[in-house]
Amino acid sequence: MRIRISADSTCDLSPELIEQYDVAITPLYVRLGEKDLKDSIEVTPPDIYKYVEETKQIPKTAAVNVGDYAEFFTKVREEGYDGVVHFTISADMSSCYQNACLAAEGFENVYIIDSRNLSTGIGHLVLDACIMRDEGKTAKEIFDILEERKQKLDVSFVLDTLRYLALGGRCNALLAFGANLLNIKPSIQVKDGRMGVDRKYRCSFERAVVRYVNDKLADKDSLDLRRIFITDSGCTDEVRAAAEEAVRKNAPFAEIIHTRAGCTVSSHCGPNCIGILFYRK
């Protein structure tokens, strides 16, 4: 039985991982001015940052629509696959899950998983699905296992600035000004499918990243050490290296994977955002 593993572009897997694990990607849309562009295909994070600097406006992001999903599922069937397991960003953050479910009603053996997460939190689920696919599990078996496993994800990130969130109306402009003035670097945690402030660090960004990693990995006994993603939206090599060094000092993860956040995360958080994403036991 041939099973197609797929995910929205919000999974933030690198092109190398997508090719290695044979993952199909359905792109969200990013609106720059009057143009609707496909995430990571027709527009990239540097394009977004340039647009924001020139216009002082945050681009809008739009979900994969029902028609795009239906076209994708039709293509998968035509390619001879017997089933599909598809992953979306949290239903509380986008209508991707709802649209995918509507499109899937016209097909048999298509399973849609609301990741309740974003970025490489979704990526963890996708890679696990691919491993199970290669082990010969059915689409239903993969779906059942990952519906439970997704509850164990720990997904968070730390921001250098609240400017992009303020421009996008996701936080008060005065609050953002105060945070920047006081050099506060907030960490954001995904919980129950939604984002909220977890901790606040008052220091340089690089120091905040190290303190954030130390805090997240403090409970050593709870860590699932198979794999950890370090995902950023455009940080310096020094910040990436500091994050990895802090991870290695805290826990012996079997895999440490660096990825670059795509347009969805980048358009909301801006550059200089980095997170560690892993499972707990």
Task: Note the pTM of the prediction, 2 decimals.
Answer: 0.93
**56 vs 234: which has the higher pLDDT:** 234
At residue 165, the pLDDT reads 63
- Which of 176-190, 198-212, 265-279 is the least confident region? 176-190
Span of 20-34, 68-82, 88-102, 179-193 with lowest mean pLDDT: 179-193
Mean pLDDT of 125-132: 98
Quote the CA–CA distance of 104 and 209 in Å, as a whole number: 40
Query: Which pLDDT tens digit goes with each residue over 219-238?
Result: 999 999 999 999 999 999 99
Per-chain mean pLDDT for the chain: 92
Using the predicted structure, report yes or no on whether residue 22 has a pLDDT greater than 80. Answer: yes
The structural domains of the chain, ordered by start, are 3-151 (3.40.50.10170), 152-280 (3.30.1180.10)
Q: Which of 146-155, 203-212, 240-249, 267-276 has the lowest mean pLDDT?
A: 267-276
| pLDDT higher than 70, residue 167 | no
Q: Look at residue 36 and tell me whether its pLDDT is greater than 80.
A: yes
pLDDT at position 264: 86
